[in-house]
A = this chain, B = another copy of it.
């Protein structure tokens, strides 16, 4: 049944937190990825410094090699997840030179040597993909490069470092000191033993350089990014901000500005006061978000997990699929891929929670009757709240009373998860019941 796909050789450089997840997902979801890419993505090998080092994920030992250069030769797609400048830069240039497309999450390298790599790729018609380098799993590269290509971006404000957002958020919600929260973050693995790259905003500055380059179609060298860390943010500053309905966030700001009549850009990273009503103020914990102001599109926000091995692996694999689509002939990557072609289930199969509000007779035994109907329908009750309706309501008002003189109660029933079929059948039976005057409302509960 599977179409005859071309095979593409994928070389992976690095097997750290992200690399090992990428390898694992490539092996695990091979068929599905082949359908998405229109090509079989064959993991040819994983280059590491030490083949015997412990990994986050179990991977076949025969995939590992210390010989990155041989692995790159003959690869169609090279995924660089080693980090650092050298030898990552050298390997990427080798990959481009041998005709491979490159996927990387290396923000330090892109922020310092991006133009060199893109230039090399352009000369041979190769591509460099880096969705994972700017805001982890949040898709921000394609929106900036493609979706907003017909617009003029005015300003980007990004929370692009999860560690510092976690620290500032805890300081805000717990009234704790910087040093205490940092120590706790280190204990929990949210911050590195040497937290300098995060708390002094080196990481955020690299991401800011990448975002600004894309947004303003301008090479932004890392040295041009104004950088301040969060080590000077005190409990007193945060308390003061809270009193003024503000919050302190480490922001990467990329902005179009006017300098003596010339259109220029500014790229800066510093802790700043943000109003509690701003969407960025509600980005909590280690989450990231990028707020974009564009002339025509208006305000946009992209929100999600900023880091984490598996989250970043998602972005890397998206790039791998894009690179593969480019590789196969005629693959425009623009039309619909409907190769999964799953059946669309009728609503009856959906499993959800209901909140059912009933107007019932307020007399003994009613709850038992209703509970019986629910139980017979296979619907389990999570919560019941009963309120007696205002008895001053005139009995003549339609739907408010049975007219028998029995007072009316309002019963709000929260169900456990059940199929729509079971739920809607049960609601129909409730509506028919003698003790139910009216089904006042039925709503699904989503997002739990």
Contacts and interface: CB of A to CB of B under 8 A. Distances in A.
A334 B146 CA distance: 9
A270 B352 CA distance: 12
Interface stretch (A164-172, A188-196, A261-269, A394-402): A261-269
Given A240-B412, A303-B279, A344 B221 contact: yes
Given A29-B152, A338-B219, A444-B273, A142 B131 contact: no
A271 B314 CA distance: 31
Given A149-B322, A297-B304, A448-B275, A345 B259 contact: yes
A150 interface: yes
B128 A334 contact: yes
A129 to B, nearest CB: 7
Interface of A is mostly: mixed
Contacts of A296: 21, 25, 137, 310-311, 313-314, 317
| Most B CB within 10 A of own CB, among A282, A316, A318 | A318
A217 B266 contact: no
B272 A294 contact: no
A444 B279 contact: no
Interface string A209-225: 00011101111110010
A420 to B, nearest CB: 8
Interface in A311-325: 311, 313-322
A236 to B, nearest CB: 7
| Most B CB within 10 A of own CB, among A321, A341, A344 | A344
A257 interface: yes
Interface residue tally of chain A, by bracket? 35 or more
Contacts of A121: 334-335
A351 interface: yes
24 contacts: A115-B336, A118-B335, A118-B336, A121-B334, A125-B330, A139-B142, A139-B143, A141-B147, A142-B146, A146-B321, A151-B317, A213-B336, A236-B441, A240-B357, A259-B345, A265-B345, A272-B443, A273-B355, A275-B447, A296-B310, A297-B304, A297-B314, A298-B311, A299-B305
Given A29-B150, A142-B142, 19 more contacts: A118-B336, A121-B335, A126-B332, A131-B147, A137-B298, A142-B143, A145-B333, A146-B318, A148-B314, A149-B322, A217-B341, A226-B350, A248-B443, A259-B349, A265-B345, A272-B443, A296-B310, A326-B332, A326-B334
